[in-house]
Amino acid sequence: MPSVGERLRRLLGSAGADPRPQPAELPFTVGDRVADTWGNRALVTEIDVAAEHGLGRIRRRYEDGRELSCSVVAHDLKRVDDTQT
């Protein structure tokens, strides 16, 4: 039977996993054009996966000048190709 110390080490050892996404896992990079859920298009100006306590931040600028940000782990953005119209 494992000791209390061994149980705690096992429990805390599994808590050290880092599930944060990396920029390579995103379907776009800084400078790409993206569309949100409603089809509004914007330019990605910043991706910081370490921001917001590890949730990450994606900043984008819309054509009307608005600048918004969202979480890397829960974004609704899709890369768009503006050359096809």
For the record, the structure tokens of 63 come out as 């054509």
User: What pLDDT shows up at residue 62?
Assistant: 95
In the predicted model, residues of the chain with pLDDT beneath 50 are none
Which domains does the chain show, CATH number per domain?
A: 21-79 (2.30.30.30)
User: What pLDDT shows up at residue 58?
Assistant: 95
User: What pLDDT shows up at residue 81?
Assistant: 86
User: What pLDDT shows up at residue 4?
Assistant: 84
For 13-30, the pLDDT digits (tens) are: 765 555 555 555 788 999
Q: Global pTM?
A: 0.69
User: What pLDDT shows up at residue 51?
Assistant: 87
Residues 62 and 68 sit within 8 Å (Cβ to Cβ) = yes
